[in-house]
Each structure stands twice: as structure tokens, then as C-alpha cells.
Amino acid sequence: MKTCSKCGVEKELSAFEFRKSDNCYRGACRQCLKPARNAAAARRRVTLLGKYRAQRINAECRGLDFLLSYEEWLGIWLDSGKLEQRGRGSQKYCMCRFNDEGPYQVGNVFIGTGGENVRDGNLGKEMSKEVREKISRAHKGKPHAWSLGDKNPMHRPEVKAKMSAAIGGENHYNQRGVNTPMGYFITAKAAAQALGIPKPTVEWRARHNKFGFSLPPIA
């Protein structure tokens, strides 16, 4: 047992760090040392050197080789002009690897947004059902301002006209044409224009087999 020099509580020796250099235990316990160490680590992280070390440690924890020296790392950031925008988030900038492969080294890294980095890393990967459901829950109830009114590409007049031409009239999937005393016409509209009678009249006569009008059998 040993009494902590900071909190004055007697604790097991396992609660204290052993210093091999002095071959003895520290006077303060780990719990009392933790706040000061966390504060010191936070101060180091705000420096450029601290950010470099944090990225290197993060890469090593992920099993990736980090071959950039501090000077090389800083030079890449300064050349990009995005150092002040470095951070977490889809719109912030980070150091990415080409195709998300290989080590962090000169020639295999570039500065891109977090969104680009995530997208490149997910290319070719199959999205699981759990991930799809998570994304769906995250977007549920959110307004889609990008698709309202004229912002929606499907609402633009030129798009509507193009779609109508592509699937309307004789191109409609359910188009059958009409038989008339003057022969077969591919649409009721075409028959109405050729015979000089209203389209509804042509459709009614064909539907009820009146006056030589009829609908061709379904193929």
C-alpha cells in the first residue's frame, strides 16, 4: 500500500506508476496525474507539431505506414493553402491517400475534403443493410430544400417536355392504336387529325366498336 501525495488516500501499488529510471513508484497516483496530463496533451494537440504527431499515431493504430517527416507533412499542407480549414467534417480538409491505398508518403497523399475522403474509401464496398437503415434514420424528417419548386430538375418545363415526348403518344407503354374505316392509326390523336373528328369521339367509337372503329387486340 502507498499514500498518494496529492489526494492523501492510501491505495494499492497498482494505482501508481512505476518509474524504471528511479526504480520507484511515483508519489501521486494515476488518477491524480490524469487531469494534468490530459490538459498537457490538449495543449500539445493545438500546435502543428501536435497535429502531425496525432495523425501519425492515428495511422499507426490503423495499421498504416506513415512515412512523412514533419517538414514534409507541413509542406504539403502549406502548398495546398487549406491549413486553416483543416479539421473533421465533410466540408473540412484532411490529408487523403490516392485510392485510399498505400502508405502516407510524398506522392501518395493529397489534401481533400472529408466528404471526398469518405467517398473514395467506400468505392467498391457493398453497403450493408444496417448502414442503409442508419442513413435512412438520419435523413428521416429532414426537409429537401434542394428539390423544392423550380430547384427540382423534374419540375423544369424542358424536362417535362422531354419526358412527355419520350413516353407519350405512340411511345407510351400501353399504346394500342385504333382501327378505323380509313385504316389503322397508331394513336387516337392521329386518327382524329386524319378524319377531322374529335379525339374523344374516336376513342369512344373504338372502345364500343361503333361505325367501323375498334381497338386492336392486345399482343
* Residue 170 or 84, more confident: 84
Looking at residue 124, what is its pLDDT?
Answer: 65
Looking at residue 219, what is its pLDDT?
Answer: 63
Condensed to tens digits (0 to 9), the pLDDT of residues 4-21 reads 888 888 888 888 888 887
Condensed to tens digits (0 to 9), the pLDDT of residues 136-194 reads 888 888 877 777 777 777 777 888 888 888 887 778 777 889 999 999 999 999 999 99
Q: Report percent pLDDT > 90 for the chain.
A: 37
For the chain, the residue count is 219
pTM score of the predicted model = 0.46
Looking at residue 78, what is its pLDDT?
Answer: 94
Rounded distance between C-alpha atoms, residue 61 and residue 64, angstroms: 7
Asked whether the beta carbons of 203 and 215 are under 8 A apart, the reply is: no
Predicted confidence (pLDDT) at residue 33 exceeds the cutoff of 90:
no
CA dihedral 31, 36, 42, 43 (to 10 degrees): -170
Asked whether the beta carbons of 46 and 37 are under 8 A apart, the reply is: no
Ordered by start, the domain boundaries in the chain are 55-122, 173-207
* Residue 159 or 92, more confident: 92
Looking at residue 174, what is its pLDDT?
Answer: 77
Using alpha carbons, select from 66, 124, 123, 122 the residue that is nearest to residue 95: 66
Looking at residue 72, what is its pLDDT?
Answer: 95
Rounded distance between C-alpha atoms, residue 99 and residue 120, angstroms: 6
Residue 12 burial by Cβ neighbours in a 10 Å radius (0-12, 13-18, 19+) = exposed
pLDDT averaged over every residue in the chain: 87
